[in-house]
A and B are shown apart, each in its own frame.
Chain A
Amino acid sequence: MTVKSTARARKKAAPGVPDNLQAGKDAPAELIQLLTPEGERVEHPDYPLAIEADELRSLYRDLVLVRRFDAEATALQRQGELGLWASLLGQEAAQVGSGRAMREKDYAFPTYREHGVAWCRGVDPLNLLGMFRGVNHGGWDPNEKNFHLYTIVIGSQTLHATGYAMGITKDSAEDAVIAYFGDGASSQGDVNEAFTFASVYNAPVVFFCQNNQWAISEPTTNQTKIPLYRRASGFGFPGVRVDGNDVLACLAVTRWALDRARNGGGPVLIEAFTYRMGAHTTSDDPTRYRAAEETESWRAKDPISRLKTYLEREGLADEDFFAAIDAESETLGLRVREGVRSMPDPDPTLIFDHVYAEPHALVTEERAEYVAYAESFEGGE
């Protein structure tokens, strides 16, 4: 009887865990949280976080600017300036928290939705928009900010991250790697192979799964019968579920996991429990497969408003601060709009550039044929 009631009490204390993930399982999922949806600061014995007001304000700034950038990109897609956009709306805390936990020499391997992580790494937001506009397939040097190119094929990058981490070990370096992926990707063979390699080679890689509840139209229950973070134990490393809408918890847990990895502790799986507030991409229509009430219930857990509430209540930021962030947000929006609209179409010979690192006779020949063909039109039409 005692056990039963304890379990029930613990279940109550784990907000946001759907019943269908808990049903029939012996232990409810524990959700690491340092800032409640109501903006209350709570402590967790395993993940202490000493944080100054400056850093809190700076996290808030990142969250707001990342959301603004994302909103601009969605609008630019609607205006025809971008072919597609994959919005991060709702996942700002998971991305900013984990992104800010990284050190300069750490390396991130993103999916195609990690705009917030890119921001934290210092990648120019305009660089992210090239592939969505259709002028390139990447558009930045991954080694400049240790932020790899976006990967569209689901889960592939988790193996690249693991291999990169294996290299760190071989170099006896103290860097660490984050592999980003989603709840859908957890079903892919590549992701499970990455878990195996990381475990066997004790690679310094943190698997950061943003469980945003939906793989396009499929709920997480189509991918797993247990909470995703528990998958880690079968591979031989720890798994943690963190409130993905709590930037402080994401920061603390990721910092812990990265430090553990860089000190020889091996991989960790972090499941950031969050929600994709928008469509999968601008091509998607979520009204076909999920209820508006569900989305609304997650709106109450918004990652930005809870931090704002906390900052205001504790007197850590004043009106001037919020006004300054709003102004900066406007400036960013303007820069993104103008930047995208003035982004030139590439020269078609781009098709042949960089196919190989060394000259390749067939590409050279086809390029020459193309140029001659294109020139045959000039002045002729």
Chain B
Amino acid sequence: MSKLTMSKAINEGLRNCLETDPKTLIMGEDVGKLGGVFRVTDGLQKDFGEDRVIDTPLAESGIVGTAIGLALRGYRPIVEIQFDGFVYPAFDQIVTQLAKMHARALGHVKMPITIRIPYAGGIGAVEHHSESHEAYFAHTAGLRVVTPSNPDDAYWMLRQSVESDDPVIFLEPKARYWDKAEISAAPALDLHTAKVVRSGTDLTLLAYGPMVKVCLEVAAAAEEDGRHLEVVDLRSLSPVDFDTLEASVKRTGRAIVVHEAPVFMGMGAELAARLTERCFYHLEAPVLRVGGYHAPYPPSRVEEQYLPDLDRVLDAVDRALAY
């Protein structure tokens, strides 16, 4: 496949799902004629019809709730929530119903629903359009949570998510929608496997979604100072591939978790705790975290100061190496 943007890669992934499995459906607001506000579903309604690419009423709880009913009837809904901040009306259906259904039915019903959500910031948007809420979902048993950082992963992870018989929260880093890359002919990894995207010996940067690119830039900058940083792209936030993380941190002896979401009670807290347990005698420094603050996502004119960037991560690298 030729080089695609992440937005187009997901579009192609969705097209493939609709082509290969007649039970798949796309549901959401403005996903039809408009092709979604980010054009991720562009052209799909035209090619697959209004029965399979459904412009729903403007009601997120309704979208997810009816997707649950459709799944009970044997369908495989792929739901789009228009922006991160609009998922909360559906949060009740996701947490109290979708996540628990398989367990409550003792495995007799499956919930093969993929919920796509553009998330995270950096695009200068208004309130509720830039949030990172992955911790809420990862905290909920019964949900799988994944987030690609690049077009190739976006394509293959989307297809793997739709094939899963469990509900998958598929978080799309909207600031990376326009990044371009080659799509490989076959998936290199299982949906829930982490990937070492840059090898190094001095310290491991753990990131996912939008922050992988930032961490790669940090590693390149650190290299100029003779510091060899390893970068691991988690890809999956529930489950987390701790074996890959542990192996990396045991090699480097130092780790920093980087995410946009607030640090307090965020993914970084869980990663730091588990890695400390697994790698205690290998660690040269405490696992540090760089992320958002305990504050509402700020107005766009100061989001640069809120989001982790090259300088803030390098500052943490200095601190970790100083131990």
**Residues of A in contact with B (beta carbons under 8 Å apart):** 83-84, 112, 130-137, 152-154, 184-185, 187-190, 215-218, 222-223, 283-284, 288-289, 345-346, 348, 350-352, 355, 360, 362-363, 366, 370, 373-374, 376-377
Chain B residues lying within 8 Å of A187, measured Cβ to Cβ, are 57-59, 62
Q: Do the beta carbons of A352 and B293 come within 8 Å of each other?
A: yes
Q: Do the beta carbons of A217 and B302 come within 8 Å of each other?
A: no
Rounded to whole Å, the gap between the CB of B218 and the closest CB of chain A is 16
30 contacts between A and B (CB under 8 A): A84-B126, A130-B299, A131-B127, A133-B301, A136-B299, A152-B85, A153-B86, A153-B88, A187-B58, A188-B59, A189-B59, A189-B89, A216-B29, A216-B37, A217-B33, A218-B32, A223-B57, A288-B33, A289-B34, A345-B301, A346-B301, A346-B302, A348-B302, A350-B298, A351-B293, A351-B305, A362-B264, A366-B295, A370-B305, A373-B315
Partner of B295, one of A346, A355, A374: A355
Q: Do the beta carbons of A216 and B89 come within 8 Å of each other?
A: no
Closest to A83 in B: B124
Q: Does B73 contact A (CB under 8 A)?
A: no
Q: Do the beta carbons of A217 and B32 come within 8 Å of each other?
A: yes
Within 23-52 of B, Cβ neighbours of A (below 8 Å) are at 29-30, 32-35, 37
Q: Does B55 contact A (CB under 8 A)?
A: yes
| Given contact pairs A137-B299, A345-B301, A355-B296, A83 touches B125 in the complex (Cβ within 8 A) | yes
Inter-chain CA distance A373–B32, complex, in Å, is 46
Chain A residues lying within 8 Å of B127, measured Cβ to Cβ, are 131, 137, 152
| Given contact pairs A216-B37, A217-B32, A154 touches B301 in the complex (Cβ within 8 A) | no
Closest to B59 in A: A187
Rounded to whole Å, the gap between the CB of B270 and the closest CB of chain A is 18
Rounded to whole Å, the gap between the CB of B246 and the closest CB of chain A is 29
Q: Do the beta carbons of B58 and A185 come within 8 Å of each other?
A: yes
Closest to B58 in A: A184
Closest to A191 in B: B59
| Given contact pairs A216-B30, A222-B55, A189 touches B315 in the complex (Cβ within 8 A) | no
Q: Do the beta carbons of A363 and B294 come within 8 Å of each other?
A: yes
- Convert B74-100 into 0s and 1s, putting 1 for each residue whose CB lies closer than 8 angstroms to a CB of A: 000000000001101100000000000
**Residues of B in contact with A (beta carbons under 8 Å apart):** 29-30, 32-35, 37, 55-59, 61-62, 85-86, 88-89, 124-128, 264, 293-296, 298-303, 305-306, 311-312, 315
Chain A residues lying within 8 Å of B55, measured Cβ to Cβ, are 217-218, 222
Chain A residues lying within 8 Å of B61, measured Cβ to Cβ, are 189
Rounded to whole Å, the gap between the CB of A233 and the closest CB of chain B is 20
Chain B residues lying within 8 Å of A363, measured Cβ to Cβ, are 293-295
Rounded to whole Å, the gap between the CB of B124 and the closest CB of chain A is 5
Rounded to whole Å, the gap between the CB of B91 and the closest CB of chain A is 12
Inter-chain CA distance A187–B65, complex, in Å, is 14
Closest to A187 in B: B57
Chain A residues lying within 8 Å of B299, measured Cβ to Cβ, are 130-131, 134-137, 346, 350
Rounded to whole Å, the gap between the CB of B133 and the closest CB of chain A is 14
Q: Do the beta carbons of A355 and B294 come within 8 Å of each other?
A: yes
Q: Do the beta carbons of B126 and A132 come within 8 Å of each other?
A: yes
Partner of A351, one of B35, B56, B57, B306: B306
Rounded to whole Å, the gap between the CB of B300 and the closest CB of chain A is 3
| 3 A-B pairs with the lowest CB-CB distances in the bound complex, closest first | A134-B300, A217-B34, A187-B57
Q: What total of A-B pairs shows CB separation below 8 Å? A: 119
Chain A residues lying within 8 Å of B124, measured Cβ to Cβ, are 83, 134
Chain A residues lying within 8 Å of B56, measured Cβ to Cβ, are 222
Closest to B263 in A: A366
Chain A residues lying within 8 Å of B301, measured Cβ to Cβ, are 133-135, 345-346
Chain A residues lying within 8 Å of B59, measured Cβ to Cβ, are 187-189
| Given contact pairs A134-B126, A188-B59, A217-B32, A352 touches B295 in the complex (Cβ within 8 A) | yes
Inter-chain CA distance A215–B86, complex, in Å, is 15
Chain B residues lying within 8 Å of A373, measured Cβ to Cβ, are 312, 315
Rounded to whole Å, the gap between the CB of A213 and the closest CB of chain B is 13
Chain A residues lying within 8 Å of B33, measured Cβ to Cβ, are 217, 288-289
Q: Do the beta carbons of B37 and A283 come within 8 Å of each other?
A: yes
Q: Do the beta carbons of A351 and B264 come within 8 Å of each other?
A: no
Most buried by B among A133, A184, A283, A351: A351
Inter-chain CA distance A134–B27, complex, in Å, is 31
Chain B residues lying within 8 Å of A377, measured Cβ to Cβ, are 311
Closest to B31 in A: A217
Inter-chain CA distance A43–B55, complex, in Å, is 40
| Given contact pairs A187-B62, A288-B35, A350-B302, A137 touches B296 in the complex (Cβ within 8 A) | yes
Q: Do the beta carbons of B30 and A217 come within 8 Å of each other?
A: yes
Inter-chain CA distance A309–B125, complex, in Å, is 41
Chain A residues lying within 8 Å of B86, measured Cβ to Cβ, are 153-154
Q: Do the beta carbons of B37 and A288 come within 8 Å of each other?
A: no
A-B contact sample (16 more), CB < 8 A, given A153-B86, A355-B294: A83-B125, A131-B126, A152-B126, A154-B58, A185-B58, A187-B57, A188-B59, A215-B29, A217-B55, A223-B57, A288-B33, A346-B301, A351-B295, A351-B302, A352-B295, A355-B295
Closest to A353 in B: B295
Partner of B126, one of A83, A345, A346: A83
Rounded to whole Å, the gap between the CB of B60 and the closest CB of chain A is 8
Rounded to whole Å, the gap between the CB of B255 and the closest CB of chain A is 20
Q: Do the beta carbons of A189 and B62 come within 8 Å of each other?
A: yes
Closest to B38 in A: A283
Q: Do the beta carbons of A216 and B34 come within 8 Å of each other?
A: yes
Rounded to whole Å, the gap between the CB of B277 and the closest CB of chain A is 24
Partner of B58, one of A131, A134, A215: A215
Inter-chain CA distance A84–B127, complex, in Å, is 11
Inter-chain CA distance A187–B126, complex, in Å, is 23
Rounded to whole Å, the gap between the CB of A219 and the closest CB of chain B is 9
Inter-chain CA distance A370–B290, complex, in Å, is 12
Chain B residues lying within 8 Å of A84, measured Cβ to Cβ, are 125-126
Chain B residues lying within 8 Å of A366, measured Cβ to Cβ, are 293-295
Partner of A218, one of B35, B58, B306, B315: B58
Chain B residues lying within 8 Å of A346, measured Cβ to Cβ, are 299, 301-302
Chain B residues lying within 8 Å of A154, measured Cβ to Cβ, are 58, 86
Q: Do the beta carbons of B89 and A188 come within 8 Å of each other?
A: yes
Chain A residues lying within 8 Å of B264, measured Cβ to Cβ, are 362
Inter-chain CA distance A345–B299, complex, in Å, is 10
